[in-house]
Amino acid sequence: MKILISPAKKMRENSDIFPADSLPQFLEKTRILCREIQKLSLEEARALWKCNEKLARINFERFAEMDLAGGATQALLAYEGLQYQHMAPVVFTKKAADYVREHLRILSGFYGVLRPFDRVTAYRLEMQASLAVGDKKNLYEFWGDQLYQSVLDEDRVMINLASKEYSRAVEKYLQPEDRFLTLIFGELADGKIRQKGTLAKMARGEMVRYMAENQVEDLEKLKAFQALGYEYSEKYSRENQWVFLSVT
């Protein structure tokens, strides 16, 4: 079983809380992307990243000086988004850290797939960015089925906690024998399930933490999850989409 999550835009470079295990597995392809971005002018890079001038300059300088092999921050600790804050990996027990090492994978437009304690450097590149590389018109084509193949294991079960931008990079290649279970955190409004981005990100982090702390291997145990006012809803869930509704 693999748990799939998205990266966060905001990153930091620090920390030796956990030893970094290894370099990312697709580092040579990441080098290709790095070189393509280094060819861009500041304005071209800003258009690619769709950010303000201050952030563009910070990331432009990062890419100009980027040492991919020298990255020293563990991937799980490098991202600073709400999902990662609520996951709280800095206070993981050894058992929880071992669990995510085996089961958790971070999908990335720049690195492809990251294991939790891979060594990374701060970057900015979303999966949906309009970056053409050779004859590949975007990052989905650039990565092809490599992300899917990387997260596939013997039981062919994937718990999808990634946003659509990232999950589609895997979902496109699913086979009939795969189990791709998407977890939805939302509210009921006019008979429809609506997700609020901020709360959903927080809940995804809480779910990873719950799974790690409880060493979840049986999918049925996911239904016992209760955090931030969310509870499993049998009524609105389907075979491969489980819904957790806000009851507050």
> Which structural domain range is residue 169 located in?
2-246
What CA–CA distance (Å, rounded) separates 157 from 182? 11
Please compute the mean of the pLDDT values over residues 223-240 and round it to a whole number: 96
The helix (H) or strand (E) run that includes residue 178 is none
What CA–CA distance (Å, rounded) separates 99 from 60? 36
Average pLDDT, the chain: 94
Query: Domains in the chain: how many in total?
Result: 1
Please compute the mean of the pLDDT values over residues 36-45 and round it to a whole number: 97
pLDDT at residue 15 in the model: 55
pLDDT at residue 22 in the model: 86
Confidence of residue 18 (pLDDT cuts 50, 70, 90): low
Residue 35 has pLDDT above 90, yes or no: yes
What CA–CA distance (Å, rounded) separates 132 from 134? 6
The secondary structure of 67-96, three-state, reads CHHHCCEEHHHHECCHHHHHHCHHHCCHHH
Taking the CA of residue 59 as centre, how many other CA atoms within 13 Å lie in the half-sphere pointing to its CB? 27
pLDDT digits (tens, 9 = 90+) for 118-175: 999 999 999 999 999 999 999 999 999 999 999 999 999 999 999 999 999 999 999 9
> CB neighbours of 244 closer than 8 A, spacing ≥ 6?
183, 184, 185, 186, 203, 225, 230, 231, 232, 233
Q: What's the pTM?
A: 0.95
pLDDT digits (tens, 9 = 90+) for 86-121: 999 999 999 999 999 999 999 999 999 999 999 999
Cα Rg of the chain, angstroms: 18
Confidence of residue 19 (pLDDT cuts 50, 70, 90): low
